[in-house]
Amino acid sequence: MTIETKEMKTKMIPIFVMGKRYEVPETLTIMKAMEYAGFKFIRGCGCRGGICGACATVYGKAGDYKLYSGLACQTVVEPNMYLTQVPFYPANRAVFDYSAVEAKPEEIFQLYPELFRCVACNSCTKVCPMDVEVMDAIAQLKRGNIARAAEMSFSCIQCGLCTSRCMGELPQYHIFQLARRIYGGLIAPRAQHLQEAVKIVASGRYEECLQSLMKAGDAELRKLYQEREMEPEMTGEDWTPKDKKCL
């Protein structure tokens, strides 16, 4: 079966969603194919760009014993693909007061003791749609190397597929989130220019500009925006536009 117009000829292929067969164009992603078939997403659909992790999908192929996984917004349909979505995976997430957390591996060990149940099967890495070396990042945390684990898990989008295949039942993506928060907030060096810029803002340097903008009407704001300098020249010592304009 094909869809034909003067401009195109698209081959239709069968897919199965929750066990029901549908005919869809072969060029569509799983998400678009499901919408083509009549499904309306009210959850399990976020950015549509492979960033948010909301559309984790598990699927099988006819005659293949293996289970596959991917993001519905990125994975293109295949003939006789059997689909089911996992919009949320119920993994336990530790509750803690971030303001009381210290930059110590023991913090993670106490909140996620299951970290040491990892059996190094590497199923988590194989299932990750973002190619994160999940098992290796977990190994770094077990050694106490928070910085390295945070770096290795930087591309994690919290889809939960690693947890769905974990033999040790670890919530890897929650553990990585904690590691990155500790690294970003307590370990990573602070940029000197950013600290200076924050001090300038706190000193009230821009308060007059902000107040004038808040009082301006729509027409005046549009005019200011359209006439703004796209890349204003900044002074090195105080990060203030040389002409002192608000926009």
Question: Is it the case that residue 18 has pLDDT exceeding 60?
Answer: yes
Q: Name the domain boundary from 33, 64, 85.
A: 85
Mean of pLDDT values over 29-38: 95
What confidence score (pLDDT) does residue 187 get? 95
Q: How would you class 24 by CB atoms within 10 Å of its CB: exposed for 0-12, middle for 13-18, buried for 19 or more?
A: buried
What confidence score (pLDDT) does residue 105 get? 96
Q: What is the pLDDT of residues 185-203, one digit of tens each?
A: 999 998 888 889 999 999 9
Per the CB < 8 A criterion, the answer to whether 218 and 226 are in contact is no
Structural tokens at position 125:
């890495």
Per the CB < 8 A criterion, the answer to whether 173 and 158 are in contact is yes
* Residues 76, 102 within the same domain: no
Domain assignment present for residue 91? The answer is no
- Report how far residue 130's alpha carbon sits from residue 95's, in angstroms, rounded to the nearest whole number: 26
Domain assignment present for residue 198? The answer is no
* Residues 129, 161 within the same domain: yes
Question: Is it the case that residue 104 has pLDDT exceeding 70?
Answer: yes
- Report how far residue 26's alpha carbon sits from residue 43's, in angstroms, rounded to the nearest whole number: 24
Give CA separation, 229 vs 16, 130, 211, 226, in Å.
54, 38, 20, 9
Domain assignment present for residue 203? The answer is no
Amino acid letter, 212:
S
- Report how far residue 22's alpha carbon sits from residue 16's, in angstroms, rounded to the nearest whole number: 6
Identify the residue whose tokens are 């089911």: 84
Closest CA to 49 of 127, 129, 122, 148: 129
* Residues 78, 127 within the same domain: no
Query: Model-level pTM?
Result: 0.72
What confidence score (pLDDT) does residue 166 get? 93
Closest CA to 58 of 155, 163, 151: 163
Per the CB < 8 A criterion, the answer to whether 89 and 173 are in contact is no
Count helices and strands (H / E) in the chain.
10, 6
* Residues 182, 113 within the same domain: yes
CATH number of the domain within which 51 lies? 3.10.20.30
Domain assignment present for residue 214? The answer is no
Q: Report the chain's mean pLDDT, rounded to a whole number.
A: 88
Q: Name the domain boundary from 37, 52, 85.
A: 85
Domain assignment present for residue 141? The answer is yes
Q: Name the domain boundary from 168, 187, 206.
A: 187
* Residues 15, 80 within the same domain: yes
- Report how far residue 182's alpha carbon sits from residue 185's, in angstroms, rounded to the nearest whole number: 5
* Residues 113, 175 within the same domain: yes
Range of the domain at 152: 98-187
Domain assignment present for residue 50? The answer is yes
Question: Is it the case that residue 77 has pLDDT exceeding 60?
Answer: yes
Question: Is it the case that residue 6 has pLDDT exceeding 90?
Answer: no
Domain assignment present for residue 197? The answer is no
Band the pLDDT of 83: cuts 50, 70, 90.
very high
CATH number of the domain within which 107 lies? 1.10.1060.10
Contacts of 190 (CB under 8 A, 6+ apart): none
- Overall number of domains in the chain: 2
* Residues 77, 131 within the same domain: no
